[in-house]
């Protein structure tokens, strides 16, 4: 599950930003919680709960519980790129949406405003306010759509 480099702003500039956001919401900063935040920050993109757990040698349970809590409080969001576990990422001012290519298993992030034309088309045509933050857009990338050897 690799991500193309992000040229635009990260959700939070520093871990302290995230911790501050956490504090503002009256949440505690336990050791585990801090480590989870650090892992999310270090990942610079969506990462599986189990990955965080194994990297930090934490029990998965606590990681899930922290992610769930952080998500409930809007600091984190999970996305599904394809089959497989949900992937978690920090949320901040700059939100992301994803386009995932099942061919090569890679995803790229997209600044939401770039999808606004799509959103407004669907809104007008069908009345739905769609977002690609929970399920990625799924489609073949240029490389995978091109027949091999050409």
Partner DNA sequence: ACACAACTGCCAGTCGCTTGCAATTGGCTA
Partner DNA sequence: TAGCCAATTGCAAGCGACTGGCAGTTGTGT
Number of residues in contact with DNA under rule CB under 7 A: 23
Which residue bears the tokens 């949900």?
86
Under DSSP, is residue 67 helix (H, G, I), strand (E, B) or coil?
helix
**48 lines the binding site for DNA (CB under 7 A):** yes
- DSSP letter (8 states) at residue 106: E
Binding residue for a second copy, selected from 32, 34, 51, 135, defined by CB under 8 A: 135
**1 lines the binding site for a second copy (CB under 8 A):** no
**49 lines the binding site for DNA (CB under 7 A):** yes
119-122 contacts at long range (C-beta below 8 A, 24 or more positions apart): none
**27 lines the binding site for a second copy (CB under 8 A):** no
Decide whether 50 or 116 has the Cβ nearer to DNA: 50
Q: How far out from the chain centre does Cα 3 lie? A: 10
CB atoms within 10 A of CB 132: 19
**102 lines the binding site for DNA (CB under 7 A):** no
- Which structure tokens are listed for 48? 């599986």
Binding residue for a second copy, selected from 2, 5, 28, 129, defined by CB under 8 A: 129
Decide whether 55 or 119 has the Cβ nearer to DNA: 55
Instruction: Pick the stretch among 19-27, 45-53, 54-62, 107-115 that binds a second copy (CB under 8 A).
Output: 107-115
Q: How far out from the chain centre does Cα 48 lie? A: 10
Rg (CA), the chain: 17
Binding residue for a second copy, selected from 58, 80, 84, 147, defined by CB under 8 A: 80
Q: Interior CA angle at 46 toward 7 and 24, to 5°? A: 90
What is the length of the chain? 150
Binding site for a second copy (CB under 8 A): 80, 82, 99, 101-102, 108, 110, 114, 117-118, 121-122, 125-132, 134-142, 145
């Amino acid at each position: 599950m690799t991500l193309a480099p992000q040229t635009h702003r990260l959700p939070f500039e520093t871990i302290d930003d995230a911790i501050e956001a956490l504090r503002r919401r009256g949440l505690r900063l336990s050791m585990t919680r801090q480590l989870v935040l650090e892992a999310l920050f270090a990942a610079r993109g969506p990462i599986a709960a189990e990955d965080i757990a194994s990297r930090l040698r934490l029990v998965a349970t606590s990681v899930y519980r922290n992610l769930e809590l952080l998500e409930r409080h809007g600091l984190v969001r999970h996305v599904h790129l394809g089959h497989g576990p949900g992937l978690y990422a920090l949320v901040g001012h700059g939100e992301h949406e994803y386009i995932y290519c099942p061919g090569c298993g890679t995803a790229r992030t997209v600044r939401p405003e770039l999808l606004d034309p799509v959103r407004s088309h669907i809104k007008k045509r069908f009345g739905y306010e769609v977002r690609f933050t929970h399920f990625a857009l799924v489609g073949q990338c240029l490389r995978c759509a091109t027949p091999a050897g050409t």
